[in-house]
Amino acid sequence: MHKEAKSSYFDMPALDVSVAFPQATPASNFPPCTSDYYQFDDLLTPEEQAVRMEVREFMEKEVAPIMTKYWEKAEFPFEIIPKLGALHIAGGTIKGYGCPGFSITGSAVAAAEVARVDASCSTFILVHSSLAMLTIGLCGSEMQKQKYLPSLAELKTIACWGLTEPDNGSDASGLGTTAQKVEGGWILDGQKRWIGNSTFADILVIFARNTSTNQINSFIVKKDAPGLQATKIENKIGLRIVQNGDILLKKVFVPDEDRLPGVNSFQDTNKVLAVSRVMVAWQPIGITMGVYDMCHRYLKERKQFGAPLAAFQINQQRLVQMLSNIQAMLLVGWRLCKLYESGKMTPGHASLGKSWITLRARETVALGRELLGGNGILVDFHVAKAFCDLEPIYTYEGTYDINTLVTGREVTGLASFKPAPLRQKSRM
């Protein structure tokens, strides 16, 4: 039977968004920063200001033009890794070993500027730097620091950090991966899940339960270790550029020299999580700044009923509400850094900062989504992408609820993480 030829009309490629919608500029040409209304920059040192501007210029020039393509394909843009390495922000607060030795404020501001343009890139750096590198920096031996940190600081090697498991998310201290002592090293068995960077990491910082002491230890595992497998988690709706993976460890041998001597209980992870939780609190600050900047430009460019959208009262009210949230988030984040730098920050402080900031960020990006109308669901105009990327950040590094319970325990003196034991039979 003769098959009628299909018209080329049906096979045309999609129009470039700038041609299809010429009235507004897409996010590939990222808007200037207009969200620092209370001049937060004045609170930064000259060095911190310089880091902020260097990272901002890099992200707008190198990452903004390509992020939509990679986010849609859920692939990582490996070509930017050498450029990120040259930016010299990996290693954050670590001093020496080729690391920048930033103040925590400087490191937080850098994280926010990366997240302002792309939250996935920010998460990639956070996992590599504020989790894996920092664990080696705080808990590793001098030999381990000298061996691993310099190449990690240059991003010549990439690291991931394996704590979360399929059966242990919020209850991370109950992890089931085991480490059995054998002659010359350790045998690791278990499974990890949601581990960012794991599908291409050169080294994996893995937490496991010592079968002799029943305490948590940490190990550096090489990517080619026999028995190690890492596979990508598919079908995410947020942080699609981040390569989260499932890790299987089947009798993986780790030599004694790669056990981190400073991790001897779960409590030892807190000194790492204290810093990383501050960094995560700054991610939504950066995300909302980018959303506001995009909306601010869009409302002035897009016209309806003969006037720019910025001229309508309801749009101005929403824009100002977004701006108000960002100023408050910036100041809470800044104060959190200062508490850390003065040695006064508690786990409750960090948890309150992370939970409250992510809550306000969700509200802010939702307002931005409304302001962009139909274009608010297109990745091309950034807001839809940020809307989706914020959801995993709201959940990781402690869910909103878990973080409120950490603060609640601190202010009341009563822990409420576990439900009260259920009675076998009611007396009523």
Q: Tell me what the mean pLDDT of segment 306-325 comes to.
A: 98
Q: Could you tell me which residues come within 8 angstroms of residue 173 by beta carbon, excluding any fewer than 6 positions away? A: 216, 266
Q: Is the pLDDT of residue 426 over 50?
A: no
Q: How confident is the model at residue 4 (pLDDT cuts 50, 70, 90)?
A: low
Q: Is the pLDDT of residue 265 over 80?
A: yes
Residue 341 corresponds to which tokens in the numbers above? 């730098």
Q: Is the pLDDT of residue 427 over 60?
A: no
- Percent of the chain at pLDDT > 70 equals 96
Query: Is the separation of the CB atoms in 364 and 322 below 8 Å?
Result: yes
Q: Tell me what the mean pLDDT of segment 328-339 comes to.
A: 97
Q: Tell me what the mean pLDDT of segment 373-401 comes to.
A: 95
Q: Taking Cα atoms as reference points, which of 34, 275, 255 lies closest to residue 139?
A: 275
Residue 375: what pLDDT? 95
Q: How confident is the model at residue 383 (pLDDT cuts 50, 70, 90)?
A: very high
What is the C-alpha separation between 355 and 395, in angstroms, rounded? 9
Strands (E), 297-416: 303-304, 307-308
- Percent of the chain at pLDDT > 90 equals 87
What is the C-alpha separation between 201 and 74, in angstroms, rounded? 17
Residues forming beta bridges with residue 230, ordered by sequence position: 247
Residue 406: what pLDDT? 93
Residue 271: what pLDDT? 84
Q: Taking Cα atoms as reference points, which of 266, 414, 392 lies closest to residue 348?
A: 414
Helices 347-371 and 383-395, interaxial angle, to 10°? 160
pLDDT digits (tens, 9 = 90+) for 127-186: 999 999 999 999 999 999 999 999 999 999 999 999 999 998 888 788 999 999 999 999
Q: Tell me what the mean pLDDT of segment 210-229 comes to.
A: 97
Q: Is the pLDDT of residue 102 over 90?
A: yes
pLDDT digits (tens, 9 = 90+) for 283-305: 999 999 999 999 999 999 999 99
Overall pTM surpassing 0.85 (yes/no):
yes
Q: Tell me what the mean pLDDT of segment 333-338 comes to.
A: 97
Residue 240: what pLDDT? 98
Residue 208 corresponds to which tokens in the numbers above? 């496991």
Residue 428: what pLDDT? 46
Query: Is the separation of the CB atoms in 178 and 208 below 8 Å?
Result: yes
Residue 174: what pLDDT? 87
Q: Taking Cα atoms as reference points, which of 188, 130, 118 lies closest to residue 159?
A: 130
As a whole number, the mean pLDDT across the chain is 94
Q: How confident is the model at residue 421 (pLDDT cuts 50, 70, 90)?
A: low
Residue 1: what pLDDT? 52
Residue 274: what pLDDT? 84
